[in-house]
Each structure stands twice: as C-alpha cells, then as structure tokens.
Amino acid sequence: MTFTVAIVGRPNVGKSTLFNRLVGKRLALVDDLPGVTRDRREGQGRLGHLEFRLIDTAGFDEAPDGSLEARMRAQTEAAIAEADVCLLLVDARAGVTPMDEHFARLLRASGKPVILVANKSEGRAGEPGVYEAFGLGLGEPVAISAEHGEGMEDLHDALAPYVEAAETEAEPAAQEAGGPLKVAIIGRPNTGKSTLINRLIGEERMLTGPEAGITRDAIAIRWQWQDRSVELWDTAGVRRRARVTDRLEKLSVADTLRAVRFAEVVVVLLDATQPFEKQDLQLVDLVAREGRALVLALNKWDLVADKRARAAELEEAAERLLPQVRGVEMVRLSALRGHGIDRLMPAVVRAHETWNRRIGTGRLNRWLEDMIARHPPPAVKGRRVRIRYITQTTARPPTFVAFSPRADVLPEAYVRYLVNGLREAFDLWGTPIRLHLRKGENPYAD
C-alpha cells in the first residue's frame, strides 16, 4: 500500500508550489491569483530517501451547497480521508487567519496525523508568522520556503517517522511490467471530459458541473481496467487561440498540450450535437502531428434524435475532414447516462495496438512492388522516379523510410497514395503514419 501525503490549506499559501517542489516537476499550475487549483492533483513525491504519493488540494471558503466552491471543498475533504499524513500549510508572512484555524479544526476532527508547515518563511518577514502558528495547537511548525527550497531538511525529518513506519508494515509490491497505458482525454470546454472520467472509474473523482472551464490542471488518475493498469489524464478544455486571452487559461492550455505529449492514446471528445467544429479539427490535427494514437468519442449521444442517420452522416464527415487519420474509430456514448461507455476502452486498446504495429521488411517491399506496378510514380522533367526500397524504422507511430535516387522530386500526391496504401494493406486505420523519403540505393543490397 502506498503512503499518502495530502497538502492542505487556505488559498494562495503555496500548496501547488510545494507540490511541484516535492514531485520534482512543474505539474501543478501556479499563479498569484487565489484559487487556481480546483481538483485534487496526485503525483509521486520524493524528499531525500522518502517516497510517497502526494495530493495537492484546493483551498476553499465557506459556500452554499451545490456551488462550485462547495464541490471543491468536497474534493479536499476526500483527499484528507485518503491521506495517511496531512501537511497543513500556513503563510508565515500573512500570519494565522481564521481560515487557517478552520483548517486546523477540520484536520483535528479527521483524526489524521498533521504536520504544521509555515511556508514563505524566508528572511525576517516570516519569523512572526512562524511563532504565531504555534497558536493552532498542532505542535511546532516546520519553517520552509517552497519557492526557494529552504527548510526541506526539516520537512524530511518531520515526515520520516510516518513514512518509514508505513514502509516497515507494508509488503513489497510487485512491479508492473511495461507501465500503465497512458490515455489523455481532450476536447473543447464543457464537452463532458471530467464526467466521462468519473463514469469510467466509477466514482466522483473529478470536479464537474454546468460551468464551462471548471478543470484547469491536467490531472492524472491511476485506474485498473480489467487486468490492465491505465493512467487517465483529464485536461482543461481548449478554446480557439483568438479567444484565449487570460494568463491562467493560457497556462491551462499549455498543461493540456503537455498531457497530449505524455499520452500514448488520446481520446478527442466531441459534442455529438455540434461535432467537427474548427477547434475539434485542430485538436485532431494536433494529435496527429504529435504522432499519438487517436480515438474519437461522440458524447451526449442520448440527445441525438435520428441516431442511425446521424451516425452515417458523422462517418462521412470524418472521412472527408480527417484524411490524416483516415479510418479513425468513433465511439458514440453518453457520459452522463453511462450509455456506450463500455465500448470506449476496447477502442483505446485497439488504437494502441495499431500504433505499436511493426511490419516485416519483406512484406513491405512486396507491397511496394505491387503499388508501383498498379500506379508507377509520375515522370518529373522527362525522367522517371524510381523507388528502390522501403523499410519500417520505428513504431509508435508506424514510421517508414523509402529510398529513391530522386526522393526530393517525388510529388506529394504520390506520397499520399503510398500512405493510404499502407493503411489498407496493413490495417493501420486511424493512426498517424510517417513516411520519409531518402536519397540513395538499397542499403541492404549486399
């Protein structure tokens, strides 16, 4: 069992900065604006020789039930319930506030061990706040500066007894071969990405609601699907670039793009009532350019009236608008109702298998001879272009190199003809294909 540490505190005390410091990466969004973090975010923390699961939480204010702030508070309370130890962060420069006292009462009531941490204590300005934190009744505060990395040794000493005791009791866990399947879910704002993830994992893990743009961070969640470990990434909705003017939204979009680069399979979630808008097409093109496996998910399918006619219409639109991922699989579902959810993960696994496919050199060159015999390359400036040889260099995505003495003059249309032929002959539907042309003879002729 993994030892879990939750970072708790009011808004803008530096919880996400400490989270980034402990995981060793800039995973959580950080900004001077209070309340940037909304969902609870997880990462693998390390401090000296200590390793633990780390949860970053939202700082919350009192709010009426049903409001966004109330749903954020529920996320923080869930993180406290999961944690083995809680780090209560206070701002040493601002001193102890009534909200800090509220968090202290909440943590005492939870019965979880609490380590009081006075952040922003670098320099003399933080000294009065460190002494004031004694008044919370949680023992001696650990003075740190998460931004500058000061006081990490003291935090290590405070955490070590809890982590080492848990490691002694825990049985060694078996390492999973190959690691989890990494799946990112992206789309325009309010298409139902967080609702879909909650439905998949069977719990209200992600913050959802009618408000657009609730999700700000790209949140990774470990999940077991059948006998396979999956890492699901929920991401912020991406609007058209011209509409993104707020600095925080730009950070959220950058976080989404980073999740795409980390993923193996990307699910682009479309609104079935308004599919294939310009932003949807740009997101699919982004996934193709990054070379990731792709699945299209049509959400809100329960709102479509004539489902048979609409399905045929959307299949035709995908064929026409998305030639770079021709044959991509489309899954029709309703995240809210749970309809069609069971078809999504099998489609993801099929896309992942296609993305990893390798084809033998002999098969490729027999296929190339047949393609050239059926439709020879056109003559350029009165001279024929000969393609001597083809081989697959890598998978993930399938990447091929063709050798020709005049590779630089081969028309783009003929390259597309070869790419489409690769899809049909070797069942590479829906995945990006790289075909590079190189000058030279067959390197394996001898």
Residues 6+ apart with CB under 8 A from 231: 180, 181, 182, 183, 220, 221, 222, 223
Which amino acid is located at 165 in the chain? A
| Largest Cα–Cα separation, the chain | 89
Q: Domain 181-355, what architecture?
A: 3-Layer(aba) Sandwich (3.40)
CATH (residue range 4-169): 3.40.50.300
* C-alpha Rg value of the chain to the nearest Å: 26
> What tokens were used for 298?
């049509």
Tell me the C-alpha distance between 146 and 154, whole Å.
12
Helix, strand or coil, per DSSP, at residue 220:
strand
User: What residues does CATH 3.30.300.20 cover in the chain?
Assistant: 361-438
pLDDT of residue 58: 78
The residues of the chain that CATH labels 3.40.50.300 are 4-169, 181-355
CA pair distance 392, 395, nearest whole angstrom = 8
Contact predicate 89/11, CB 8 Å: no
Q: Which residues contact 377 (CB under 8 A, 6 or more apart)?
A: 384, 385, 386, 387, 410, 411, 414
CA distance 205 to 6: 15
The class that CATH gives domain 361-438 is alpha beta
Task: State the pTM of this model.
Answer: 0.69
| Rounded-to-integer distance, Cα 16 and Cα 170, Å | 28
Per-residue pLDDT of the chain in tens (446 residues, 90 and over written 9):
479 999 999 888 999 899 999 998 766 554 444 444 556 788 889 998 899 999 988 765 555 555 556 666 777 888 898 899 999 999 999 999 998 998 899 899 999 999 999 999 988 888 899 999 999 989 999 999 999 999 999 999 999 999 888 766 544 444 444 689 999 999 998 898 989 988 998 887 665 555 544 555 677 888 999 989 999 988 877 866 655 555 656 667 777 888 898 899 999 999 999 999 999 999 999 999 999 999 999 999 999 999 999 999 999 999 999 999 999 999 999 999 999 999 999 999 999 999 999 999 999 999 999 999 999 999 888 888 899 999 999 999 999 999 998 888 999 999 999 999 999 999 999 999 999 999 865 555 55
- Phi, psi dihedral angles at 298 (to 5 degrees): -95, 100
* Per-residue pLDDT, 73: 75
pLDDT at 221: 86
Residue 397 preceded by cis peptide, ω within 30: yes
User: 198: which 2 tokens?
Assistant: 């909650």
Contact between 257 and 239 under an 8 Å Cβ cutoff? The reply is no
Asked if 43 and 23 count as a contact pair (C-beta separation under 8 A), the reply is: yes
Question: And the tokens for 35?
Answer: 């309340």
